Amino acid sequence: MPKLELFSKRKTNNFLLDHMIEILLLLMIVGISIISPAFLTKNNVLNIFRNMAMKGVIAYGMCLVIISGEIDLSIGSQVALSGVVVAWTSKFLAEYGIPIEYGALIGILLALAVGIFFGSFHAWARDKFNMPTFIISLATLNIMYGLAALICKGFPIVNAFPKWYVFIGTGKLFGIPVPAVILVVMFFVYDFISRKLDLGRNIYAVGGNAEAARLNGISVWKTRLFVLCSIQVMCVLAGIIDSAQVRSAAFGFGRGWEVAVISSVVIGGTSMLGGIGTIWGTLIGILFTGVIANSMTLLNVNEFMQYVVNGSLMFGAVMFNTYMKRKRN
């Protein structure tokens, strides 16, 4: 009987450690709902999902990148560059008689090509010169930012998007904002990749020990190529949603998103050392940061104080994950 009690206590402790972020999220939702009755209204909940969709889809990609033992700091600049490329292409082709309905589609394809190019470049530089992706993406962050500014000449590009494009950022499907639908769909896509495919297992193996993965026949190059291109594609998607919401494109869009995205991933339990993390945990991290951002807005918290809170959350999440790992060991 004492053994059974000991087992139950240990099982309870493990459950609490494994689901602490979810528990904290629920407690936070309850607390905020008491302080601000407007928090749990239908419109506000949908607003939370719509606002966190852009950073959320990038966070899914970032989760796999960090699990693989890499990092990508160029995400914010790619968001801006993608919107600018679509807008510029649409307006440029319109001058030659091509309707913006088709010009925007061509712009999306071009933006995807640009995103895949930079993702491939990151993977190539990592493999060819063994450069840390931290440094590589830090360099391309500035390159993309400069390219976006040169293309739009430092000014927002307006009146470049057709109605179907704007619908991506502002429309609704069955009463649910399209960005929120995209966020949920991409969750299932990435969750399937990480849990059901050999590719997902390879990502964990490479992040755990790249050399051991290579000796076991796993292509480290192809694995890194996938995750680094994947996150760039998600940045393009976020750039499309962002520019569609505001109906314009500018080189300043997406600046500083790196911290928010990485915070969501780390808060969700992904280890910055690689090899550990889940898409489910990232979704919880996205919800966690989204709820906090929304609640601080509802409670009229100073904008600069929000940076302090977000930074503290990231530090606390890393500290908690380290503690949890030691507890399990």
Task: List pLDDT tens digits, range 172-228.
Answer: 999 999 999 999 999 999 999 999 999 999 999 999 999 999 999 999 999 999 999
- Please state the rounded mean pLDDT for residues 20-25: 84
Residue from 225, 268, 254, 275 nearest 60 by CA: 268
**The CATH fold of domain 40-328:** ABC transporter involved in vitamin B12 uptake, BtuC (1.10.3470)
State how far the Cα of 215 lies from the Cα of 211, in Å rounded to an integer.
Answer: 6
How are beta strands 176-177 and 157-158 bridged, if at all? unpaired
pLDDT confidence of residue 304: 83
pTM for this predicted structure? 0.92
Q: Where are the domains of the chain?
A: 40-328
Count how many residues are written for the chain. 329
Is residue 2 predicted with pLDDT exceeding 60? no
For the chain, what is the mean pLDDT?
Answer: 91
pLDDT confidence of residue 328: 64
More confident site: 172 or 1 = 172
Is residue 129 predicted with pLDDT exceeding 70? yes
Q: What percent of the chain has pLDDT over 70?
A: 94
| Residue position matching structure tokens 């309850």 | 30
